[in-house]
Structure 1
Amino acid sequence: MSEGFIPGRTGGLISLGAADALWAGLTADGAVPRASAAFTCSPTDARAGYVLLGGRVVATVKAGDGQWSVREIELRRAALELNAVEMDCQDLVRIGPFRGAPKKECIEGTLLRWRQRITRELQELGGLERAARREGAGPCHLAGIDWRRIVVEQTRDRTERTWWLPRAVVRLLDAAEHAETRWLQAARPCQASTAVTVPPSHYQQVRVTDGRQRSPTAPLRPYNGELQGQLYSVLSRKPGTSRKVVGWVCAVCRTAPAAVLDHCHEHDYVRAPVCHSCNTLERPDHLYSNDIRVASRYTRLFDTDAAAWLRHWHRCPGCRARTTLPLPHLAAWTAHIACRSLRPTHHAPRSSRARKPCGALRVSWTGSHNAPRSCLLTVAVDFCPSGEHRVLAQVPYREAAKRFGTWLAETAPAAAAAAGPDRLDGLPTRFRPVIADTSSEGLALF
């Protein structure tokens, strides 16, 4: 389509049909699959006053003849943002179903609770294959993204089906859900209850009853340590905490809106508000309470994005003072970094020279971080060709913590400089109990 002339354009506004064609043309080469009818296909409803495109809210305008249109420049901005997203189809995040999760009603015509919406649709249609074969079954896109083309179905024990999406798409949909929530909150006091009719020169603003104007998508504020030193068990019970959290941008990736408060499960200190994607990424993949898988996602935690994650984990005063990590993270670091050279390799199937690590890396531990002298980490490989289970190393807790401190100084000098028992300026004055370690002679405290 020509850039100079678009059918249906009037004063910078284009009709919904022309917007569909322009959106398809602008996003054809992007990594994220887009829907061809993002403006006219369900669940989009232009009469609501807005359309979601990627992580952006684009306002719709009702002309004098009753026809709905959209501003072309906003559409191009949304397409530019979507094309800039890089998607790794191997980096997946589970979106459902989750046992014990509260069942919340999805609001029709909105993106709110999009995880429950996708899960419910796939369950009703009997799986991904039937949903793909059945045309017109439910919404084919969310926020202009054709999620059916990239959703992955996995089956555990041939009975339980779970669905996964690439992490980049999960972040986009979370950002879209957050933007829509802010838009609806700002539009709630508007005089118009169902549709927003805005003059073309003021399409970006919503007029409230007191005569003032404000943007429905206010920018997120960065997190600057406002919750430092506070206990999660106390803060989570305070009213209004959840509304305060969603006003921040994620403290780790600094791109997506925050959704939850991440905290240290050993010391109970709040670290920072993070998005769903980052919260899922750092959550240990437990086989049992003292046994976790060490999958490829730890490459981001301890290699590519190590500095950001180490800074985030050391927002906990307890971990920072002891120059360590929570036991599951320290165990995963020991398996992924400290014992990397011990893991056997074999020839890659599609290459004559390349080699790849074999089996599935796993680490378990006995004892607890409260008794470090008796805590022992065991690094093993499952499904190794030389044996079904192969133990690579057994590392005492204190030795693992010492190795981590050395590695921390080399990898993140700024985080290492702020760690240690002599760096207690940020610690609260409230007394924290110290547990005695009686595993050796005498009564030694750590």
Structure 2
Amino acid sequence: MSERVIPGRRGGLIILGAADALWAGLTAGSAVPAASAAFTCSPANARAGYVLLGGRVVATVKASGGQWSVPEIEVRRAAAELNAVEMDRQDLVRIGPFRSAQKQNEKTPLRWRQRITRELQELGDPERAARREGGRPHHLAGIDWRRIVVEQTRDRTARTWWLPRAVVRLLDVAEHTETQWLQAARTRQESAAVTEPPSHHRQAQAADGRQTTSPDCPTAPLRPYNEELQGHLYSVLSRKPGISRKVAGWTCAICRTAPAAVLDHCHEHGYVRAPVCHSCNTQERPDHLYSNDIRVANHYTRLFHTHTADWLHHWHRCPGCRTRTTLPLPHLAAWTAHIACRSLRPTHRDPRGSRARNPCGVLRVSWTGSHSAPNSCLLTVAVDFCPSGEHRVLARVPYREAAKRFGTWLAETAPAVAAAAGPDRLDGLPTRFRPVIADTSSEGLALF
């Protein structure tokens, strides 16, 4: 294939306008939509010394003529990495808005969740939208996220925004890479200030004598998680100085590709499970968890079918769940609806006239009961949003029966995980569990 001539190329460097054209041309067939102005539109800022393209940092160079340029080879590498990303548009992750603001990495200017939430909120305010740089298109790390964002509404009032999981992971990697790059650049500048006289202005130069504001700052490689935090209580570990920096040095313990961002922990027993990325943490978190009920979303298909063994192993990193050979109550409730009661779920004919039948509505599980009344904890599996207007109860399952069913299914589905569980494996389990759900008898006790 003949290579297209790039205007403005000189000595391996191309000006930003030419870099925009090259990036758009190389990524035209990418599953992840790329931005057409990745180098010249906000939030790209060549004067900062770099531009983010996917998970890669591309250093910028200021030539003697005053024009900013970038190495062509780095643009091509970033495009090849983006083209290799596979994206499932149906596998979505909620990115906001949330009731409480999610913690953002303040060390990186990207802060992509905060940027997206702010821009989407401004769409409903014409005056604020008009003030945004004359309506210029915006992107994140060279990705045109507006072409793939999904808005969902509930009760015609509450809006939520979603992105494909592959894009969420890619933006998390970009944020991590930017943080590492900036830290390395800062370290080099501090060491230079110590070793060189104050009057000596330090400048890095390209091979042809042009000056660059971007030193070659390698990022530290991520290390795999090897159960280093096993048995630690989250309430203790989360207060230790430097724990956030330590977590960011691991790869996600579940997907093993993206950088870890948070410590996933069992809310019922208080134990740390493992460091995970934002994407996997979103997938693990129950959808629409309220005080005593949970809506069983589609992502449970992945948790209990396609990646079952990995997720069961992750949940049983908590000594409490492993010893009891069960799951935390919200997950056990979701499992009961999704696996044990799926045959009870009614179906409806496809309205388009085909012979296929669609599952009825959305499953929801609620629970009631008291620890002071043995065997009183009861899971009620029901159907919401039935197309025919019905809202029927499918089953009422006692907690202990649900836990017993799960134990049987666990032994058949993931025998290695089941073999590592059981009441003889206490692992320092506390005698008193941490209650997670308010007791309906108003006596302040847990449901178990």
What TM-score comes out, normalization by structure 1 length? 0.85
Distance across 1 between alignment mates of 2:360 and 2:82: 36
Does structure 1 retain, via aligned residues, the 8 Å contact 2:9–2:15?
A: yes
CA RMSD of aligned residues (A): 3.4
Alignment of 1:61-76 (within 5 A): 61-76=61-76
Equivalent of 1:179, from 170, 177, 180?
177
For residue 375 of structure 1, what is the aligned residue in structure 2? 377
Within the candidate set 388, 391, 394, 2:390 is matched to: 388
* Rounded Cα–Cα distance in structure 2 between residues aligned with 1:138 and 1:160: 28
One-letter identity of the residue aligned with 2:79:
A
Gaps of 5+ in 1: 208-212, 440-445
Alpha-carbon distance in 1 for matches of 2:177, 2:248: 10
Q: Distance in 1 between matches of 2:117 and 2:176?
A: 19
Contact conserved, 2:21 with 2:36, CA < 8 A, in 1? yes
Asked if the contact 1:294/1:336 (under 8 Å) is kept, the reply is yes
**One-letter code aligned to 1:49:** G
Distance in 2 (CA, whole Å) between partners of 1:46 and 1:370 is 65
| Structure 2, gaps ≥5 residues long | 194-200, 435-440, 442-447
Give 1:142 deviation, angstroms. 0.8
Is 1:405–2:407 an aligned residue pair? yes
* Alpha-carbon distance, 1:259 to partner: 0.9
- Structure 2 matches for 1:9-408, cutoff 5 A? 9-101=9-101, 111-126=109-124, 136-137=134-135, 140-191=138-189, 197-199=204-206, 215=218, 217-286=219-288, 288-350=290-352, 352-367=354-369, 373-385=375-387, 388-408=390-410
Q: Distance in 2 between matches of 1:370 and 1:313?
A: 27
Residues 349-397 of structure 1 deviation map (CA, whole Å, 9 limit, x = unaligned): 3462322211111111112689772211111112335652111111111
Separation in structure 2 between the aligned mates of residue 166 and residue 380 of structure 1, nearest angstrom? 29
Q: CA deviation at 1:111?
A: 4.2
Distance 1:258 1:98 in 2: 21
In the other structure, the counterpart of 2:437 is none
- The one-letter amino acid paired with 1:433 is R
Question: Residue 167 of structure 1: CA displacement?
Answer: 2.2
Is the Cα contact below 8 Å between 2:60 and 2:214 reproduced in 1?
Answer: no
SS at match of 2:384: strand
1:431 CA displacement:
4.2
What is the SS of the residue equivalent to 1:189? Answer: helix
Instruction: Give the number of aligned pairs.
Output: 425
Cα distance in 2 for residues equivalent to 1:298 and 1:214: 41
Write the distance in 2 (CA, Å) between the matches of 1:149 and 1:16. Answer: 23
1:418 aligns with 2:417: no
Contact 1:111 1:142 in 2 (8 A): no
SS of 1:389 mapped into structure 2: coil
Alpha-carbon distance in structure 2 between the residues aligned to 1:53 and 1:104? 20
CA offset at residue 140 of structure 1? 1.1
Q: 1:145 to 1:344 in 2, by over 3 A?
A: same
Shift of 1:250: 0.9
| Cα distance in structure 2, aligned partners of 1:305 and 1:344 | 26
Task: Judge which range, 2-11 or 186-195, deviates more.
Answer: 186-195
d(CA) in 1 for partners of 2:315 and 2:102? 29
Indicate the percent of aligned positions where both proteins have the same amino acid. 80
Q: Which residue of 2 aligns with 1:433?
A: 432
- Verify the 8 A CA contact 1:250 1:257 in the aligned structure 2: yes
Determine the C-alpha separation between the residues in 1 that align with 2:321 and 2:276: 18
Structure 1 residue 173 displacement after superposition: 1.4
Relative to 1, partners in 2 of residues 1:138 and 1:173: Cα closer, same or farther, differing over 3 Å? farther
Q: Tell me how far 1:434 sits from its aligned partner.
A: 6.4
Q: Which amino acid aligns with 1:233?
A: S
Alpha-carbon contact 2:410-2:417 (below 8 Å) kept: yes
Secondary structure of 1:288's partner?
Answer: coil
| Deviation for aligned residue 1:335 | 0.3
Q: Is the 1:271–1:312 Cα contact (8 Å) retained in structure 2?
A: yes
SS at structure 1 position matched to 2:40: coil
